Structure 1
């Protein structure tokens, strides 16, 4: 289809972001809470579908819940496509720009290319990936993992949220057929390259005084679940000497995680979620679940850090009369983006510095199947996964313009004649 010209002639990234700024606001945490298949995330999907349709793009959702919006060539053949896009879900109480900035910028990039009078020689697709943050079902980049086979379909279908709902059941309630989830070689064969624009989740561009950067790599990272098992009991009748309290062990283990990570240069270790069971104020917990995020540029260090944490947890738990179980929930090795594609982007965007990132992205999952790259837009606070995340309007528009320049070069776009 040929994109229309009237509805989006004056659209901007900042304008699109303002359009969705009221969706998913979290009055308790601040910021935004937009877990996958929530009302907020579903509303954002509808918003994207409407915006893409206004541009004459052919929109559809695949069997893994990924929304695709296609700008086809004159032949209509969907091969060797240039793909951009990001995600619309968020962490609990997250920032405004993490994910939606890349989606809004992709839409505006289409507008920019159209205003330049260009038409693509290769098809262009905008992709919106579900459950990128893993905030509801615990596995980050779940949509791209399903697409590429990085997670088994049965494992994904049986993931559960905190309310006990399986991913399969929730997906089915939202119009997907979970029986068909899994590796999608047909779609993968249509894709040529992927360039994801994202808010920078650090201070690199602030310190370099630049609005846009090109990504070089993603630090290896993973999520582990550690469970401390103790003895549930009455808070008022159980003497201190008679307790096997997993909460005490968990507290000591968390401090140990911090101290262990300090022994590894460039390591990051975070306990972002802690869940005592049953969770009553006047109840000694029977168990405590904690989820640990570990990251390091070298995958062997990430593995060594996880093993050290496990061993220390066993010792600490035993001292409190408790036991532990420890298992990986997701693991991504350090990703180096395609050198050839990165060099091409450096030619197209000569002023953009090259930066690595400690944050995971769908681009990192896809890199094992097609050449991928990332563009980062300056975040003046340097803070992300927080309401303090920020992108200034001028930088947002510069990011979309840089994305348009990159896409034009990759598409082999030609001037429309006549």
Structure 2
């Protein structure tokens, strides 16, 4: 049996980011492609049947695919400069759980698969959970095909280059109908399990969240020849908007409002920008509150833009409503695992996207720093082992695994 940290040690050098720290593994980068290859090899070493579907999701089957399948898995891509365990822990733990079931002599009576979803973070094409959204029909295939990365490459072009025909992207009703339940294991991305001193937890829900692009337009000009009173500077408007986003979100208990990316155009040090784009992430457990926060931010942004002689355009890039995980499946997990805490998640996951189509659940493994999407993300070996054991117990239960005599 290979334990999760042993498996993760095999890929610990892949995608290391010397400039940002941590790992940068955008979908279909060299790093992420190498990780996909690592997973395929690891699955085949275990005798699993591996296939890549029309949405670039990798499936590794224990036994023949069939109806009422139990699926686990996660993703391998990362945010820029992200942590080592966000995504890969779930994939490594799934492989380790299969090893453990075999070590116990447990043979699943229902089909069991490990799935690896592409572009969960949305760090390359701006929309999170592309693979699960395509699979479930949560994104229009034409919209997905026309998404572009920072270099102007479309998703269609990138997928085609990496062996997926973009003409066949989209909802896969037959595959969805064959999945009975989906359980995703993930490192916790906050302090919930630290405060509760719990190595393993079950998820109850995912906060509603979305991404919006704000584009402030102004007058590009020379930094040295343009008097301060003669400027229509979108950078000044954008800077004020960033502060307002924090202020407005903080006024709503439980809300989160974040600006993590700003792009001035043309981007010269001695140039007044002609346009500044910024991307904000807004989250709240109540979808109506999320919508109200975005509307308030938009109104404040228009006022700021007008005062600076600029314009503002706001566009929605993705929106995921609050997800309540399947209560019956969560109860089954709690019945298997016993007295473990139940936590809501402030982070989005493929399990949340799939929840609209089939029963889904999540297991969280403790993160002793409480930091995620950053190099300081951590996990202890004992907790990783506990997560793999919990996942093996859950998979054995859900597949009605029979121990060998």
TM class by smaller structure: over 0.9
* Distance in 2 (alpha carbons) for counterparts of 1:243 and 1:229: 12
Compared CA separation, residues 406 and 284, structure 1 to 2 (3 A): same
* Distance in 2 (alpha carbons) for counterparts of 1:341 and 1:21: 33
The answer for the alignment partner of 1:168 in structure 2 is 156
Given candidates 5, 27, 31, the residue that maps to 2:18 is 27
User: Do residues 212 (structure 1) and 200 (structure 2) align?
Assistant: yes
User: Do residues 63 (structure 1) and 54 (structure 2) align?
Assistant: yes
Given candidates 30, 41, 46, the residue that maps to 1:50 is 41
Task: Give the match's secondary structure for 2:317.
Answer: strand
The answer for the alignment partner of 1:94 in structure 2 is 82
* Distance in 2 (alpha carbons) for counterparts of 1:329 and 1:77: 35
The answer for the alignment partner of 2:102 in structure 1 is 114
Task: Give the match's secondary structure for 2:148.
Answer: coil
The answer for the alignment partner of 1:234 in structure 2 is 222
Structure 1's unaligned 5+ residue stretches are: 1-9
Task: Give the match's secondary structure for 2:149.
Answer: coil
The answer for the alignment partner of 2:387 in structure 1 is 399
Aligned residues: 405
The answer for the alignment partner of 2:316 in structure 1 is 328
- Which aligned pairs between 1:18-417 and structure 2 lie closer than 5 A? 18-72=9-63, 76=64, 78-417=66-405
* Distance in 1 (alpha carbons) for counterparts of 2:187 and 2:351: 14
Quote how far apart the aligned CAs of 1:324 are: 0.2
TM-score (norm 2): 0.99
Quote how far apart the aligned CAs of 1:362 are: 0.2
The answer for the alignment partner of 1:6 in structure 2 is none
Deviations 1:106-131 (A, max 9, x none): 00000000011111110001000000
Given candidates 4, 29, 44, the residue that maps to 1:13 is 4
TM-score (norm 1): 0.96
* Distance in 2 (alpha carbons) for counterparts of 1:332 and 1:135: 16
Quote how far apart the aligned CAs of 1:351 are: 2.6
* Distance in 1 (alpha carbons) for counterparts of 2:304 and 2:333: 50
Compared CA separation, residues 98 and 77, structure 1 to 2 (3 A): closer
Q: Which runs of 4 or more aligned residues in structure 1 lie more than 2 Å from their structure 2 counterparts after TM superposition?
A: none
* Distance in 2 (alpha carbons) for counterparts of 1:283 and 1:169: 33
Quote how far apart the aligned CAs of 1:327 are: 1.2
* Distance in 1 (alpha carbons) for counterparts of 2:365 and 2:111: 25
* Distance in 1 (alpha carbons) for counterparts of 2:28 and 2:281: 24
Task: Give the match's secondary structure for 1:21.
Answer: coil
Quote how far apart the aligned CAs of 1:77 are: 5.0
The answer for the alignment partner of 1:5 in structure 2 is none
* Distance in 2 (alpha carbons) for counterparts of 1:352 and 1:322: 53
Deviations 1:192-250 (A, max 9, x none): 10000000001111111110000000000000000000011111111111110000000
Task: Give the match's secondary structure for 2:303.
Answer: helix
Aligned alpha-carbon RMSD (Å): 0.7
* Distance in 1 (alpha carbons) for counterparts of 2:328 and 2:87: 25
Deviations 1:309-367 (A, max 9, x none): 00000000000000000011000000000000000000000031111110000000000
* Distance in 1 (alpha carbons) for counterparts of 2:237 and 2:4: 48
